[in-house]
Copies of this chain bind each other. A is one copy, B any other.
């Protein structure tokens, strides 16, 4: 059986993506990873443009990203990506991030489902998996898959009304805005540090324009836990571990 190869995309850390440490922000790196997923899926013929024709679309269910070091402004870097798993409900897309010298400075594992755009319900992937069989790459995920995340006991909380700049083409809060909301809760000295980190995120429920979100945060010894709720329902859970 023909097996596909990993695909590679080139990037540059542009001024709009760096913070005052002159290194790319973690949310910007997550953005580059998710953009790569979209571009690669489209290039391989199973992007949202193709899926939308059948009134279904990709939705990110869980992600884990490990970042050892953030690229400096104007640095070139490369993201390698491959899909290595397709089951009835989820597909797994993997990423490794490499600097200009070829050193790996990050790894990500993402799990996606396909939802019916009318019913907003996950659809069975069996048929799509068959169509995509020759796009699967026989290589293991580069990091532990997204971990289980339980409810949290928030020690701080902010409210946020969903506005136009938060939403995507589906009128739901953009994935990256959730990442921003969580990083915005951190104490200032965390932004200065360039310590290796691992971020696990679960997307549980879609939030829409005008809804009131609660962004909760619980500091534990080894991790910062987040839960974003939307009018009483847990919408996003995350864990940020600094190594």
User: Could you tell me which A residues sit within 8 Å of B by CB distance?
Assistant: 14-16, 18-20, 22, 25, 27, 31, 35, 38, 48-49, 73-74, 163-165, 167-171, 174, 176, 180-181, 183-184, 186, 188, 191, 209
Contact between chains at B164 and A19 (CB < 8 Å): yes
Q: List 17 A-B contacts (CB under 8 A).
A: A14-B35, A15-B38, A15-B168, A16-B35, A16-B168, A18-B169, A19-B164, A19-B169, A20-B168, A20-B169, A20-B170, A20-B171, A27-B165, A73-B169, A164-B184, A165-B181, A188-B209
Query: CB-CB < 8 A to A35: which residues of B?
Result: 14, 16
Query: CB-CB < 8 A to A180: which residues of B?
Result: 164-165
Query: CB-CB < 8 A to A164: which residues of B?
Result: 19, 25, 180, 183-184, 186, 191
Q: Give CA–CA (A27, B181) in the complex, Å.
A: 19
Query: CB-CB < 8 A to A31: which residues of B?
Result: 16
Query: CB-CB < 8 A to A22: which residues of B?
Result: 169
Query: CB-CB < 8 A to A174: which residues of B?
Result: 16
Q: Give CA–CA (A36, B20) in the complex, Å.
A: 22
By beta carbon, the residue of chain B nearest A165 is B180
Name the distance in Å between A209's Cβ and chain B's nearest Cβ. 7
Contact between chains at B16 and A167 (CB < 8 Å): no
Contact between chains at B171 and A183 (CB < 8 Å): no
A sample of 10 more A-B contacts (CB under 8 A), given A19-B169, A73-B169, A165-B181, is: A15-B38, A15-B48, A16-B31, A18-B169, A20-B171, A22-B169, A27-B165, A164-B183, A165-B183, A165-B184
Q: Give CA–CA (A181, B174) in the complex, Å.
A: 16
Query: CB-CB < 8 A to A184: which residues of B?
Result: 163-165
Name the distance in Å between A182's Cβ and chain B's nearest Cβ. 10
10 tightest Cβ-Cβ pairs between the two chains A and B: A163-B184, A165-B180, A20-B171, A164-B184, A18-B169, A165-B184, A20-B169, A164-B183, A164-B191, A22-B169
Contact between chains at A19 and B183 (CB < 8 Å): no
Q: Give CA–CA (A174, B74) in the complex, Å.
A: 18
Query: CB-CB < 8 A to A15: which residues of B?
Result: 38, 48, 168-169
